[in-house]
Amino acid sequence: MRTPTQVDLSQRALQLLREDAQKIQQLIAVQLENLTAPKCPLYEEVLDTQMFGLSREIDFAVRAGLITREDGREIIHDLEQKLADLYTKVLPSPGER
Amino acid sequence: MRTPTQVDLSQRALQLLREDAQKIQQLIAVQLENLTAPKCPLYEEVLDTQMFGLSREIDFAVRAGLITREDGREIIHDLEQKLADLYTKVLPSPGER
């Protein structure tokens, strides 16, 4: 078995972070489907906690030299975009209220 | 400049995690010195948040193959021990209450 190179470790780190981001997306999708009040404080607390955890992982990966700051920003940006899409589907638009 | 090896990356990861643990210890020491009520919910929330962040970093480093599960447990255990020592110095023992 060969020793993993930095490239292997960096790719693995990126993959893990993207999986973690996807887990948050799935968690939020399940919550939005099941909660009657997606704006409730409990829901926002879960999201805040999860985003904080992911941002700490990303910050660590950047400092450890595994991913670039830009890679990290992209993971967070993609996740925020996907969450915004979820909200659009679930929450009524202002005109429909 | 040579490419960092896995050993370099692992040592760097361990060093970063130990520094993060030390930052939590310092933060808690400052709080204990300045708060009149170390048992207050705000204090406990800060500690919980910081410990959660560190545990996510450690878990990520283990999954990324940078440190062993045992290394991670040791960092948390050391920090808990140091925090326990801080409490002993600051909080009155049950007999003194």
Contacts of B60 in chain A (CB under 8 A): 13, 16-17, 20, 57, 60-61
* B46 part of a folded domain: yes
* B2 part of a folded domain: no
* A96 part of a folded domain: no
- Residue A27 CA to residue B12 CA, distance in Å, equals 32
- Residue B9 CA to residue B17 CA, distance in Å, equals 12
Cβ within 8 Å, pair A9-B57 = no
Task: Report the 10 Å Cβ neighbour count for B70.
Answer: 8
Task: Give CA B30 to chain center in angstroms.
Answer: 14
* A31 part of a folded domain: yes
* B45 part of a folded domain: yes
Q: How many residues does chain B have?
A: 97
pLDDT of B16 reads 97
* B1 part of a folded domain: no
* A50 part of a folded domain: yes
Query: What is the per-residue DSSP string for B4-48?
Result: P-HHHHHHHHHHHHHHHHHHHHHHHHHHHHH-S-TTSHHHHHHHH
Q: A6 touching B, CB under 8 A?
A: yes
Better pLDDT: A44 or A35: A44
Tens-digit pLDDT string for chain B (97 aa)? 566 788 889 999 999 999 999 999 999 888 888 776 656 777 788 889 999 999 999 999 999 999 999 999 999 999 999 999 988 887 666 655 4
* A84 part of a folded domain: yes
The residue segments making up the domain with residue A80 are 6-90
Helix axes B41-63, A41-63, angle to 10 degrees: 50
- Decide: B37 and A38 in contact? Cβ < 8 Å: no
Closest by Cα among B32, B38, B78, B35 to B54: B78
ipTM of the complex: 0.82
Better pLDDT: B35 or A82: A82
A54 burial type by CB count under 10 A (0-12 exposed, 13-18 middle, 19+ buried): buried
Comparing CB atoms, the residue among B4, B57, B63 nearest residue A65 is B4
Number of domains in chain A: 1
- Decide: B13 and A64 in contact? Cβ < 8 Å: yes
pLDDT of A97 reads 46
Helix axes A6-34, B6-34, angle to 10 degrees: 50
pLDDT of B95 reads 56
Task: Report the 10 Å Cβ neighbour count for A35.
Answer: 13
CATH code at A78?
1.10.287.750
